[in-house]
Each structure stands twice: as structure tokens, then as C-alpha cells.
Amino acid sequence: MRIGLFVTCLTDTLFPDTGKAVVTLLERLGHQVEFPVAQSCCGQMHFNTGYRAEAAPMVRGFAAAFDGYEAIVTPSASCAAMVREYHPVLAEGDPALARNVAALTPRVHDLATFLTGVLGVTDVGAYFPHRVTYHPTCHSLRMMHVGDAPLRLLRAVRGLDLVDLPDAETCCGFGGTFAVKNPDVSAAMCADKVAAIRQSRAEVVCAGDNSCLMHIGGALSRMRTGVRPMHLAEILASGDAE
Amino acid sequence: MTGSMPTYLGMPAFPDAAKRAVANSQLRRNLTHATTAIRTKRARAVAELDDWEQLRQAAKAIKDHTLANLGTYLLRLEENVTKAGGHVHWARDAAEANAIVANLVRQAGADKAVKVKSMATQETGLNEALEAQGTAVIETDLAELIVQLGDDLPSHILVPAIHRNRAEIGELFRRTMDDAPAGLTDDPPQLAAAARAHLRHEFLTAAVGISGANFAIAGTGSLVVVESEGNGRMCLTLPRTLISVVGIEKVLPSWQDLEVFLALLPRSSTAERMNPYTTIWSGVTPGDGPRDFHLVLLDNGRTDTLADRTGRQALRCIRCSACLNVCPVYERAGGHAYGSPYPGPIGAILSPQLRGVDSPIDASLPFASSLCGACYEVCPVAINIPEVLVEQRARVVESQKHYSERIVFGASGYVLRSPRRLAAAQRVASLGRFVAGRSGRIRRLPPPLSAWTDTRDAPAPPPESFRAWWARTKGDRQPSGARERIRDSLRKDSR
């Protein structure tokens, strides 16, 4: 299977370790991964903030960069959802592009459901001896419908102590530009999420999206909680090096 | 035509109003307590039905069909209400509706009117209009009465006094209710009994009752009011004259269609299998109930909304409040911040849809959401609220002149659509790690990003981006010819 990694602009720029972890993980499972260097951004921030004209060229860029891949895997359920749900909307009015987008979007997967659904694995051979809680991000849950795939993957990690997160399915308050346009409500939501994480007594909070983790992690660090945010890919790529 | 909601003119933008609410610890406690309780109960009530999703899809289909043929069904409704002895009036906007009702109240020779809880009349500001001509208006729903006695505004569609707790209500009753029993405590049954005694006299002496309706059945000209307290039944049956102000989107073709909605509405709103009182009437019946019945059909921006391909789904709304009770933004900002009788996620799309996006509050409402999608998930008529919000954001951006934001988004779009420019920007950004120092966290950024770093650290960019790492370690893995193919297809866009 020809797998293209859609790393996303945020992970590319700020969290390269997550991208490296996806490569390590998929290679360990016997797959070769390509990184089409022509990729840039899915356009979600612009689209969700109302700048549709600015987002439209990114749809064309995405379709060109990933043309020909059987599977397009991304460590962001939110960006995967943007491509699946809204690239067809932005491609309206350009029949050729709309056709390309329609052919491409079903092949776009977030990492968790790609592993459990497409590759059919839950035990990826990882070892991570820490107490971890999992925050199901809104778009993974309600747009990509990942269900319990990430939890099944985490439960199969050796040494990992998975603890429940109270009110897990409540939004952390990131919401892209929402965090800046409505900073008071966003921070109030984040404060409640941090309180729930502390209540779980986890050392690590895990999620399938670096955007939400950047938000939660920003508050965890500001409050000196000592709880570490970590992308699912990085936990799944951990092995017993010792 | 565009609608108006006169009571709410001049509201501040959402973030400013929400800032005050977020800082009010009593309000936060009241809202968290109430919404947590009701959303837990709702989830349980919905889980009892194994065909919930089918019911939801059926409701969506019925509403879409009705809205697509709205003219036909409204005329049929008018015909059948008239045939049953009622009178039908058509109101283009809030002012017309209020004028029609005010005139009818005068004709009835009434100096007061008792009201059933009604969103349509909240929307038109009917109480204020009637009070202006000297008609006393008495809200008879317990929570609406609390709002009215406190000279307050509603903050929830179903539970308009959700922002008040029992201690605040006890204090309010003792202060404002002339006939409050001596020694009235904050005990809820005592408070309810005091309101009941207070209202009984009003029910028996009012010559006019005013209501909205949850549904209107075109096929028989019947109106339906769904309620919990029985005050509605009193208002709908005791006064000589009954006036119902109903949004044109409330019409349903037949009783078979009503069945679906009566399964969805109580579970979604009060988490009950069935609500205690459902009153259905068709015109007038000699010797029983009101002698004179008037139906005022209200547009107030609805036909404009109907013409909007994405936004028209907001007209499916049955005002259940499920979206408010699950919304993390509503729970923290409270209902008043939405500057409309329609707060929460549905209000964030409905108010700009009905009123346009010209005022500061309406231009800010589409952005009052983290797009978490919890509202869409629980909506019994499957309104894709995030989809409408995002569409309205584009409308706001098009209609406003946010020069600085436009420049930022234009420039970032220019960078983000090109892998070459993105890589260059990443090399510059990686210098940011020197700002962060050894902590690896940035604690302060200039505006507008200070809105982030006021409460949250920002990550320092790493020395090497993912794409730089890839090029350095695995660059040979790039498929041959891909670069050229991409350049060709991107050329179409390059400006």
C-alpha cells in the first residue's frame, strides 16, 4: 500500500516529533511511508474563520500533493475531518478539482482509525510505563467518529496505566481562532479540562491532535502541573529502548 | 425581509459580555449545576429508544419537506383555522405582529393579558409593546415569572431563569410579590406554591390569553402547546379571547407528522418520556374554551432564512434547548451574552440568520463557538450548527472591514498554500526558540496573540521542522516526477 503522510502545517512547524513518530510506527509495522513535500496546509484555520477565498488554493494544493496515494494518513483527526467534510465544499464550482477531491477524500485517515480500521492492528508493540489519560478531541469524536479506537490502541501498550478522564468528551476550548477571539470563555473551558486531568492523577495526557494538546499543554505548563501532553503517535511509537 | 428583536438593541459583542459572565462565580455554579443535571438526564431518556436516530432523520425530513412547500402548508393552515372559527393574521416583522396583538387586546377591552411561555413573543418584544399601551402582561410560566418579577432577561429557551438559584428566587419573591406568604423560605415546593397562589387570581380575571405554539397542523388547523406546569392549559382555556403568535416555520402537514415530534421534543428538552400537559385546539368550540381565537403568523426574517441554502436548516429548530445544555460555551458564558431570546448554539446561528450580521453582537455570534459539535450531536432535528456557523463567519468576513485581520489572514494564506514559503517561514520561526529560552515555552506574545499567552504558554518552535528533518534524513524517498506534477497544477493558483 502506498501511504502518504499528511503531517499538517502545525505538526510540521511546531511538533516534528509527532511526524517522526508516525514514520517510526508505520515502518515498525512493515509499511513504507512517503512524505509528499508539496503538501502544506489543509486550510482549516482560514475556512473556519471565514476566509474561504484564502482556503481554496490549499484544497487544490492538497489534491495535487496527494494524488495517487492509496492511503493518506495524518496525526490530526481535525485536519482529516476538514479534508473529508469541507474540501468538497470548497471545490464546488471547479468540476475537475471536485472530481479529484471526491476521489481523494475517502482515502484520508486519522492515525488511530487507520491503524485499527485499515491495517487491523491494536497492539502496535509499544512500551510506555506511565500513567496516561486520554482526551478524545471533538473532531476525532464527532467528525471522524474514531469511537474507542485510540483507547483500544492505548490499552494494548505494555506498561501503560490508562486512567479515566472525568467529563472526557467536553471540549478543551481550543477551537482554532476561538482561543484568541473568545479568550475568556476559551480559558475557562481549558481550566476545567486541566482540573479534570489533575483529578485523573495522570502523568501524561494523550490526544490525537496537536492543536488541542498545544492548548491543554499551554495551560498545564502555565500552572506548573508537571503533567505532560503527548500525541498518541508518540506513545505508540515508544519502544523498550532500555 | 430581515427581522428585528427590539428588546435586544445595542447589545455588546459576545466576547465582552461573556467576559463578565465568566468572572461571575455564582452564575458559573448555577449554570454548571443545572446544565450538568439536565444533560445527564437527557442522555438517559434518549438512550431508552433504540430508534432515536431514525426518529431524528424522520423529523429532519418532515421539516425539510414542509419548509420546501411552506406556502402551500401555510395557506392550508389558514384555510382550516378559519373554517374552525379562528381568525388568521399575517405579520411581516416584529412591529407588525405587536401592532396586530395590541389592537386585538384593545378590541377585547382588556386591561391585562395572561401569557403562556412563548419564544415568538420574546422575539418580537410583545410585552414591552403591550405595556406601552397600558396593558398589564402577566407571564405565567414559573421561570418566566421569575424573570419578569426581577426585571431581568431570559437566559435559556426552556428554563429562562436558569441563571438564578433558589436563594436568589426566594429573595426575589419576598421582595416583589405582594401576596407572598409570610415566612416564605427558599424551599422549592414553597416557592412553587407561592407562585401558584399568586397566579391563580390572574388566570381567573384575565379576559385575554396570549400564547405561541410548538406546532401548527395544516391539515386540521390545530395548534399544539407542550408544557410542564399547567399554566399554559389555564391561559389557553380560561380567557374569553386567545391570541397565538406563531413563527411560520412551526407548521406541520398532518397529525402523523406530529407523532414524530412528540416523541423527540420532551426527551430532548426536559428529559421526560412525555411532558405533563399537551394542549391541542382547533379554532373555537362553542361552550368550551375561548370564544374568540386569533392566530398571528410571524415572518420576522424567516423567509430570508429560507432562501439561504445552508442557513435554512435553522428553521427546523423545535426550541428544545438540548444544544444549550450540552454547549461548553453556553455553560460558561451564560445566556445573556448572546444578546437575544435565543441563546446558546441555536441562538448563535438563529439570531444572525434572522437579524443579519450588521450589529456588533450579531457579527460576533457566529464566532461564539469552538466548533466542538456537541450541539449537532444532540439536536433532535439534526441541525448541523457548526456548518452554519462557519458559513456565517464567511458572511461576516465579507461584510466587514477588519483590515488588520484581513492582512494577517491574507499573508498567512499566502505562506500556507506554498510548501516553499512554509519552509522558509519555519526557518524564521525556529529562531523563536531563542525567545523561549531554556524552558522551551513562550510565556508572552504581542497582541493579538497575547489573548493566548495571558492564560496559556505557547510552544517554542523546534530547531528543525518535520519537513527539514525529512529532507535531511529521507529526502531520497520523494517519488520521481511528483515535484513537476505538483508545480504544474499549482501554477493555476499562483498569483
pLDDT confidence of residue B486: 56
pLDDT confidence of residue B272: 96
Distance separating alpha carbons of residues A194 and A173, to the nearest angstrom:
11
| CA-based nearest distance B308→chain A, Å | 16
pTM: 0.94
Percent of chain B with pLDDT strictly greater than 90: 88
Judge whether A242 lies within some domain. Answer: no
A-chain residues near B425 (CB < 8 A): 13
Query: For B458, which of A43, A49, A218 is closest by C-beta distance?
Result: A218
Distance separating alpha carbons of residues B428 and B434, to the nearest angstrom:
11
The arithmetic mean of pLDDT across residues B472-483, rounded, is 69
Query: For A185, which of B332, B373, B479 is closest by C-beta distance?
Result: B332
CB contact under 8 A, A36 and B374: no
CB contact under 8 A, A16 and B328: no
Distance separating alpha carbons of residues B184 and B66, to the nearest angstrom:
49
Kindly tell me if the per-residue pLDDT of B342 is higher than 70: yes
At B50-70, the pLDDT tens digits run 999 999 999 999 999 999 999
Distance separating alpha carbons of residues B371 and A48, to the nearest angstrom:
9
- Whether the Cβ atoms of residue A218 and residue B456 lie closer than 8 Å to each other: yes
Residue A22 sits in the same domain as residue A75: yes
Judge whether A81 lies within some domain. Answer: yes
pLDDT confidence of residue B495: 42
At B64-108, the pLDDT tens digits run 999 999 999 999 999 999 999 999 999 999 999 999 999 999 999
B-chain residues near A32 (CB < 8 A): 477
Of A59, A84, A118, the one marking the end of a domain is: A118
Residue A89 sits in the same domain as residue A149: no
The arithmetic mean of pLDDT across residues A181-186, rounded, is 97
* CA atoms lying within 13 Å on the CB side of residue B251: 29
Residue A15 sits in the same domain as residue A114: yes
- Tell me how far CA of residue B285 lies from CA of B226, B238, B281, B293, in angstroms: 20, 13, 9, 10
Kindly tell me if the per-residue pLDDT of B151 is higher than 70: yes
Chosen from A182, A216, A220 to mutate, greatest number of chain B CBs within 10 A: A182
B-chain residues near A101 (CB < 8 A): none
pLDDT confidence of residue B435: 76
* CA atoms lying within 13 Å on the CB side of residue B229: 21
Judge whether A7 lies within some domain. Answer: yes
Chosen from A146, A169, A177, A184 to mutate, greatest number of chain B CBs within 10 A: A184
Residue A108 sits in the same domain as residue A175: no
State the ipTM, two decimals.
0.97
Residue A79 sits in the same domain as residue A135: no
Kindly tell me if the per-residue pLDDT of B442 is higher than 50: yes
Alpha carbon A69 to its chain's center: 19
Distance separating alpha carbons of residues B419 and B412, to the nearest angstrom:
12
The contacts of residue B469 (CB under 8 Å, 6+ apart) are: A16, A19, A20
pLDDT confidence of residue B8: 84
Kindly tell me if the per-residue pLDDT of B436 is higher than 80: no
Distance separating alpha carbons of residues B345 and B20, to the nearest angstrom:
19
> Which is more confidently placed, A78 or B479?
A78
The arithmetic mean of pLDDT across residues A27-54, rounded, is 96
**Which of A68-77, B407-416, B436-445 tops mean pLDDT?**
A68-77
Kindly tell me if the per-residue pLDDT of B484 is higher than 70: no
Kindly tell me if the per-residue pLDDT of B404 is higher than 80: yes
Provide the pLDDT confidence category of residue B483 given band limits of 50, 70 and 90: low
At B263-290, the pLDDT tens digits run 999 999 999 999 999 999 999 999 999 9
The arithmetic mean of pLDDT across residues B19-39, rounded, is 94
Distance separating alpha carbons of residues B230 and A147, to the nearest angstrom:
42
Question: Which residue blocks in chain A are alpha helix, DSSP H?
Answer: 9-14, 16-28, 44-49, 52-65, 77-81, 87-91, 95-104, 111-113, 138-142, 149-155, 178-181, 183-200, 210-222, 232-236
pLDDT confidence of residue B289: 94
Of A67, A94, A118, the one marking the end of a domain is: A118
AA identity, residue A95: P
Residue A88 sits in the same domain as residue A142: no
- Tell me how far CA of residue B372 lies from CA of A55, A110, B376, in angstroms: 20, 17, 9
Residue A94 sits in the same domain as residue A59: yes
Residue A167 sits in the same domain as residue A103: no
- Whether the Cβ atoms of residue A22 and residue A75 lie closer than 8 Å to each other: yes
CB contact under 8 A, A57 and B413: yes
Provide the pLDDT confidence category of residue A242 given band limits of 50, 70 and 90: very low
User: What's the domain range around A178?
Assistant: 131-236
Q: How many CB atoms lie within 10 A of CB A219?
A: 23
The arithmetic mean of pLDDT across residues A141-162, rounded, is 98
Provide the pLDDT confidence category of residue A234 given band limits of 50, 70 and 90: very high
Size of interface A-B (CB pairs under 8 A): 229
Residue of B nearest to A180 (CA): B451
pLDDT confidence of residue A240: 67
Query: What nine digits make up the cell of B225?
Result: 402547546
The arithmetic mean of pLDDT across residues B135-161, rounded, is 96
Distance separating alpha carbons of residues A81 and B142, to the nearest angstrom:
44
Is A239 exposed, middle or buried, given 0-12, 13-18 or 19+ CB atoms closer than 10 A? middle
Residue A84 sits in the same domain as residue A186: no
* Residue whose entry in the numeric block shows the C-alpha cell 431508552: B48
Kindly tell me if the per-residue pLDDT of B19 is higher than 50: yes
pLDDT confidence of residue B492: 53
Residue A153 sits in the same domain as residue A212: yes
Residue A27 sits in the same domain as residue A101: yes
Kindly tell me if the per-residue pLDDT of B1 is higher than 70: no
Rg (CA), chain A: 18
- B419 and chain A in contact, CB less than 8 A: yes
Domains and CATH numbers, chain B: 6-303 (3.40.50.10420)
Kindly tell me if the per-residue pLDDT of A184 is higher than 70: yes
CB contact under 8 A, B493 and A61: yes
Residue A135 sits in the same domain as residue A114: no
Q: How many CB atoms lie within 10 A of CB A124?
A: 20
Kindly tell me if the per-residue pLDDT of B485 is higher than 90: no
Judge whether A220 lies within some domain. Answer: yes
Q: How many CB atoms lie within 10 A of CB B167?
A: 11
Q: How many CB atoms lie within 10 A of CB B405?
A: 17
* Dihedral of alpha carbons B434, B438, B441, B446, sign: negative
- Restricting to B residues 52-81, those with a Cβ less than 8 Å away from any Cβ of A are none
| Secondary structure of residue B27 in the 3-state scheme | helix
Of A118, A144, A168, the one marking the end of a domain is: A118
The residues that bridge with B224 in the sheet, in sequence order, are B215, B280
Domain count, chain A: 2
Judge whether A151 lies within some domain. Answer: yes
Kindly tell me if the per-residue pLDDT of B480 is higher than 70: no
